[in-house]
Amino acid sequence: MSVEPNWIKPALRRGETIVGIMVSELKTPMLGAMLDAAGLHFAIIDQEHGAYGADALGAIVAGFRGGRCRPLVRVPDTRREYFLTPLELGAAGIVVPRVESRTQAEEVVKFGRYAPQGDRGLSLMRAHTGFRRVDKDSYLAKANDDIVLIAQIETRQAVERLDEILSTPGIDMAFIGPSDLSLSCGTSSSLRDPAMRGLVDTIVAAAKRHGVFVGIQTYDLAIAAELAAQGIGLVSCNTDANALLSTLSGNVAELRRLLGGRVSAGL
């Protein structure tokens, strides 16, 4: 938890859909304010595929303070130090790629929650407490409740072990990564493909069995709406790179349609 209100799990419990973006390229500290102004509910700042070191992450996460849009951080791997820095910078949750076993899911909880649920290291007067003197016991209990711990389900092995992963106490959400899942399972990555939809259905059913939320990454808004109706509460509906490229290439195409050959073909 940061001292910022972490309203993600309460909204999901009310059955609301929360909408956000995966950010892997942009590094401006204004990002949080921009995404908040766009009406997004969360951003996943991606340290798996994106090149964000601790310094860049610190500036970016700080830029979300005061808004409703909440910063989640996708860490590169399941390691203690990868969790500690984003959480103490004030991340509202941690997304862990390629969770494939009970042991790994237990490590996610160990690194992401304070004792007794986990074994997160303690340092209180930092960004996650707003540098305030907090009452330790109530802060730790609230942080343990508020932080969203998200296990990515994106390999065949993870699908085969859904029950052991999603029954791990302290895991809040299964996040479906269609790209890696398709590669691992030999299907299309399109959520319109029946084989991929079958995998999604299997994951959603397991999540329901174990009372955990489900999230997904997709650009396909019609499918996102279908999946939301099916119970997928967290939808990451774009990436920073795609949002820029699709808008700008569309602008060029539209001007070419309006102006024809007057728009330069380049060198």
- Could you tell me the two tokens for 257? 């349609």
The answer to the question of residue 217 lying near ligand 3PY (CB under 6 A) is yes
Taking each helix axis from N to C end, the angle separating 221-230 and 194-210, rounded to the nearest 10 degrees, works out to 30
Antiparallel, parallel or unpaired: β 234-239 and 213-217: parallel
The answer to the question of residue 154 lying near ligand 3PY (CB under 6 A) is yes
| DSSP string of 179-208, one letter each residue | HHHHHHHTS-S-TTSHHHHHHHHHHHHHHH
Residue nearer to ligand 3PY on the CB measure, 168 or 217: 217
217 binds, among Mg ion, ligand 3PY, none (CB under 5 to 8 A by kind): ligand 3PY
Binding track over 157-196 against ligand 3PY, x by CB under 6 A: --------------------xxxx----------------
d(C-alpha 191, C-alpha 155), whole Å: 16
129 binds, among ligand 3PY, Mg ion, none (CB under 5 to 8 A by kind): none
Q: How many CA atoms lie within 13 A of 133 on its CB side?
A: 0
Binding track over 91-130 against ligand 3PY, x by CB under 6 A: ----------------------------------------
For 158-197, b/e burial (b = at least 16 CB within 10 A) is: bbebbeebbebebbbbbbbbbebbbebbebeeebeeeebb
Residue nearer to ligand 3PY on the CB measure, 2 or 182: 182
Please give the backbone phi and psi of residue 196, each rounded to the nearest 5 degrees, phi first.
Answer: -65, -40
Q: Which residue has the tokens 């009372």?
A: 211
| Size of interface with ligand 3PY, in residues (CB under 6 A) | 8
Residue nearer to ligand 3PY on the CB measure, 117 or 157: 157
Binding track over 16-55 against Mg ion, x by CB under 5 A: ----------------------------------------
**For binding to ligand 3PY (CB under 6 A), which residues are involved?**
22, 152, 154, 177-180, 217
